[in-house]
A and B are shown apart, each in its own frame.
Chain A
Amino acid sequence: MDIFLQQVVNGLTLGSVYAMVALGYTMVYGIIQLINFAHGEVVMIGAMVAFSVITSLAAAGMPPLVVVMLGVSCAVPVCMAVGYAMERLAYRPLRRAPRLAPLITAIGVSIILQHLAMLVWTRNVIAFPQIIRIETYTFAGAAITNVQIAILALCVAIMAGLAFLVYRTRLGTAMRATAQNPQIAGLMGVDVNRVIAATFVIGAGLGAVAGVMVGTYYGVAQYTMGSVLGLKAFCAAVLGGIGNIPGAMLGGVVLGIVEALGAGYIGDLTDLCAYGWLAALLGERCAPGEHFILFGSNYQDVFAFVVLILVLVFRPSGLLGERVGDRA
């Protein structure tokens, strides 16, 4: 039972990071029906910028917490600038183009960003300096570190802030109006271009924070880290109902937990020797103490995509989906 609890804790941490990234996908989709496949790379750039800042400041001997804070506060503006530039240069000129054009552009932007990062930060796996002393606390048999607690708390705070922004401020109202109908929102005096740019910038900022979280949590970063992370977050957004902000939060957390539990239990569940009649069939391969495992925990990355397929087949609008993809 304590293992189950521990896997849930792992899943929650992972899931809240997915949720942060998924928000970037879902907000952009909600407002201009574009799947911004370059969002994963923005997360990676966030991690990389934070790495550079943290490494150089840690050498200067500043207190760890300040260093990490400064790392985040450098990564966020850089990613916001990347997000803005992406929207302004790559997507805005294509706003009235056929749906496929911006989608392909997004993939192009993703490749460009990835290779730029490779030039700046090399192809090597980068080790984040271990400046924060990791404390492990144990509750009911499940270990949780101070870094995990910080990630969870920060995610909750940021999501609450985002909900406030979207549902309680003028900008949020403008965003929701633009999402419903850009033309009419424009006629009502909403500066549509500014609202769309703001959406990209906010999404990129969330991505930057997620990037720093992933970097400090695992302790390593690489220029390719954004692609799989981005795809999984995209699955989370679809799971929650793409275009729906609470949906992205829920989808991220659910996906994280599914992944952790899946990777934790798939090996035992597909151990053919655990099933009497199969073990008899396999004979010698199942001698006492032997195992014949069909799918090991290295299939962890598959769960996100299995979930994606199941959602698309059985509930295309996602868990909290309000809008069914009307086009493309």
Chain B
Amino acid sequence: MQHPKIALTLIAAAVALIGCGEQKPAAKADTAVEVKIGHVGPITGGIAHLGKDNENGARLAVEQANEAKVKLGGKDIRFVFVAEDDQADPKVGTTVAQKLVDAKVAGVVGHLNSGTSIPASPLYSGAGIPVISGSATNPKLTEQGFKTQFRVVGRDDQQGPAIASYLASNNKPKTVAVIDDATAYGEGIANEVEKTLKAANIAVLPREKGTDKTTDWKAVLTKLKGRNPDAIFYGGMDATGGPLMKQGRELGIKAVFAFGDGACTDEMTKLAGLAAEGLLCSQAGIPVAAADKSFLDTYKKKFNVDPILYAPFTYDAANILIAAMKKADSADPAKYLPELAKIAYKGVTGEISFDAKGDRKDAEMTIFIMKSGKIVPLAVIKGGKTIPFAEFGK
């Protein structure tokens, strides 16, 4: 029994030595003060493509800030980008949030999902670290009263009504079926859609549910087919929405499919094939194509792909953190947080300022339609007004 103990001690000693060895050279190399900016999104799992998109946006902003050689409080600043993976899982979300808090990041961009952002927000609030999401749309996120929580996209209680009223006024359905994936995001947006449809005197069938891993929707769809709805709304992500739409068409359902921003990407063509044609969907913000041209070009040059969904928003979110730090001349969260709350920033997604809750003022919503494998913007909804996309930005 002696040998294992000795072996363990040796291993522990070796680990300690290696640990020390690693830290020293890093500290010597650079005299600039390090300021860490965190990003959290799912880099693995069903929506990894969206997570990477968000991460790239924030990364670009941080790297550009480093090239511009920012000085705070008279000292050279080097921003360090700390990217974490929350796997779109609420449990992992809180773990990586704690990790970022322990690493003493100055600010965080993220998380991507509402389901991970909401449980993580008290951790950031407790540590006083500002966090700006570029894509979490569930209203509850900013309703919790945390002074450190912001977002640069609209809310589902704006997005839900937007897609629902577009559907109601353009497709004039008599009966609509609403399905959700039982997540904070999916259920939230589905509830908002149902509320708006009912207010417009449209019959809504009893709610159907799946999970965020469901691939077999046949039983649910068959049931819906028997009720013959004119439209089907799904609150969920594209990895489950793709099979849903594909199987719906296979069963011969002719209804209009309408999805929220989680399933409003070109990826839908891959997941649902030809069945994705005609999908109506919404994004909480302006379409990627309407973002600032020079941002789109730089992004494409750097990452060799086009931004998919919310990259312009995470880019703005990271830039806003840096802009607030510059204004306060400090990267100390306690000092720059007040500047952040009252910021007026011209970003690649338009003018950004926050209301008392941390929501973006006057957030736009965009309605898309899937046409020959690409989502094409139809209309932008701003302040309750529907503007055809062709006229938007003029």
Contacts and interface: CB of A to CB of B under 8 A. Distances in A.
Interface residues of A, number: 39
Interface stretch (A94-102, A123-131, A180-188, A311-319): A123-131
A92 B296 CA distance: 59
B178 to A, nearest CB: 11
B210 interface: yes
Contacts of B211: 298
B18 interface: no
Q: How large is the interface on B (under 10, 10 to 19, 20 to 34, 35 or more residues)?
A: 35 or more
A261 B271 CA distance: 26
A296 B242 CA distance: 21
Contacts of B226: 2-3, 6
A14 interface: yes
Given A6-B251, A219-B272, A263 B48 contact: no
B209 A296 contact: yes
A10 B219 contact: yes
Interface string B37-65: 00000001110110000000000000000
B229 to A, nearest CB: 14
A105 interface: no
Contact of A220 (B208, B209, B222, B239): B239
Contacts of A259: 219
Nearest to A3: B226
B394 interface: no
B217 to A, nearest CB: 9
Q: Which of A14, A124, A219, A264 has the most CB of B within 10 A?
A: A219
A299 to B, nearest CB: 8
Interface in A4-18: 6-7, 10, 14
Contacts, number: 107
Contact of B215 (A145, A218, A296, A298): A218
A263 B218 CA distance: 9
Contact of B223 (A123, A124, A267, A293): A267
Interface string A258-278: 011111110110010000000
A298 B210 contact: yes
Interface string A203-222: 00000000000000011101
A121 to B, nearest CB: 12
Nearest to A2: B226
A143 interface: yes
Given A3-B222, A220-B215, A124 B44 contact: yes
B274 interface: yes
Contacts of A124: 44-46, 48-49
22 contacts: A6-B225, A10-B222, A14-B216, A124-B44, A125-B45, A125-B46, A130-B273, A134-B250, A136-B250, A136-B251, A143-B250, A143-B251, A218-B243, A219-B273, A220-B215, A260-B219, A267-B208, A289-B198, A297-B209, A297-B219, A298-B211, A300-B216
Interface of A: 2-3, 6-7, 10, 14, 122-125, 127, 130, 134, 136, 138, 143, 145, 218-220, 222, 225, 259-265, 267-268, 271, 289, 291, 293, 296-298, 300
